[in-house]
Amino acid sequence: MVPLILLGLAAVVAGSKPLPTAIIDSGAIVGTTTTLPSSTAVVNKYLGVPFGKPPVRFSPPEPVGRWSTYYNATKWGPACIQETGPAVDFLFNLLDMPPPLGGEDEDCLNLNVFTPADASAGSKAVLVWLYGGAFRNGASAEPQYDGSSFAANQDVVVVTINYRTNVFGFPADESIPLKERNLGLLDQRLALEWVTRNIAGLGGDPSKVTIVGESAGATSVDALVVTPPEPVPFRAAIMESGQTSVQTSFDTTVKSCEQSWQKLLNATNCASGNSIECLRAVPAQDLKKLAIKGSLVFGPVRDDFTLAKKPRQRRLNSVKNETSIARVPVLIGSNGDEAMTTIIGQNDPKKYLQPVIGNYTDLLLSKYPLGSPGAHTQHERLSLIITEFQIQCVSAAYANESAFAGIPTWRYLFNASFPNNERGYGAYHTSEIPFVFGTYPQANKTQFEEDVSKSMQKAWADFAKDPYKGPGWAREPAIGIFGDGVKAGMSVEGKKPLRTVPSKKVDFRCPLYLPLYT
């Protein structure tokens, strides 16, 4: 029961209208409410709630302490320091992706909770979202990650968390113990600990947590599955356009991160003496600018603590050793045109592929003749190859191995674009996110577009509510296709928001890539 004094505080924060109040282990938090035109449900939002202390640069996170008065959780908290640069800025502008709503700061270990206002304590399934951004950028306060629609339409609790990225999240100094280098992944674990301790007071059931991520967030989800914390703080996992078990030739290497770190030390005159303390004295924005200017790359290292060195073997070995990974139900999938926006300006497939896969290039190109479906231009041809090689067929291999290991496994494919959000790139990388969250443009939306979004929300929510029953279609080797290949301006007659087909219908070229995966 909420103490009367806290109800009074909530009324003060709101002016005259009381706002929702909850008690967590750090103290009282006061949130805000929202309603949607498409729903009668009221959603309570608790924004920017700290789950960690202000982090010490290049050090592991620590749990947040208690506060003596209420915490005002009515505004978005800051994002962690973002690394973008001209190419990323161009892409964000092209796709009309606004910056995080709370600005950026090193003091960024906060999360957001969206919960049905009528939820009783510990009653609802919970989905915890891990954003993507190539471990370079990303924030829980991006408008596309507003969980209000999802919570209202599907009667679930949605949590979106921050974690450190780029050099602030993955420092590559040899003096840092290996288990303390993947700070961003440690941030995620700390946030999940917070969820376990506190989500019941916000309407969620801590025993019914599903972790969900896209791109680098999906890599993080897989890392949590294969090298889970103890006890395991989730019971199911959803991976959108990413994983970490099946590796390709495009994966970032430890060597490239260490080279970037050395360049940063040289640029800051921190190469001698205590390099960590030296870099801690450099203003955060200066480090950010140097990383962008030097095109420096930082990402997770395989420490066998937060990220497995041999994840595929771990998964297969879990048949005999069930505690070696979290053998939870998995939903994994991708988009139909993943690479269309990631290879903008690339129109020479052979030149692009030769340095990566060498003599295998000619064989691949022969299987994707120019003018064939989906390969009408050289750009489309390369996009189709990269989409299948790097994401779709990786997902297929992952799902096959997961199912072979006896883990309940489902696959999906998002394959639709609509006039009010069409950028000329089809179902590009990240384009499924607004349909999952229900944050796609409402102006000039079509009924079929709304149906696709609600079908995806329902599938994700059904999976979270009963992972062993699944998202609503048969397990691997079936695949649920959202959008049925609809393109902007195309008739939707005879099309279905969700259609199930045998995976071999969309994966027929995937055997080509198996020799390239490790």
Strand order in the sheet with 71-72: 21-24, 27-30, 71-72
Catalytic residue among 149, 215, 245, 334: 215
The answer to whether 316 and 450 have CB atoms below 8 angstroms apart is no
The answer to whether 413 and 334 have CB atoms below 8 angstroms apart is yes
The answer to whether 10 and 21 have CB atoms below 8 angstroms apart is yes
Beta bridge partners of 25: none
The answer to whether 449 and 418 have CB atoms below 8 angstroms apart is yes
> Which CA distances in Å does 220 have to 260, 345, 347?
22, 29, 32
Nearest to 408 by CA among 216, 210, 244: 210
Here the tokens at position 400 are: 């096959």
The answer to whether 134 and 220 have CB atoms below 8 angstroms apart is no
Active site annotation includes 180 = no
β-strands 330-335, 409-414: how paired? parallel
The answer to whether 165 and 138 have CB atoms below 8 angstroms apart is yes
> Which CA distances in Å does 162 have to 10, 47, 70, 127, 224?
26, 12, 22, 15, 16
| Cβ neighbour number for residue 67 with a 10 Å cutoff | 12
Catalytic residue among 142, 214, 338, 388: 338
Active site annotation includes 338 = yes
Active site annotation includes 376 = no
Catalytic residue among 83, 220, 318, 429: 429
In terms of Cβ atoms closer than 10 Å to its own Cβ (0-12, 13-18, 19+), residue 188 is: buried
Catalytic residues: 215, 338, 429
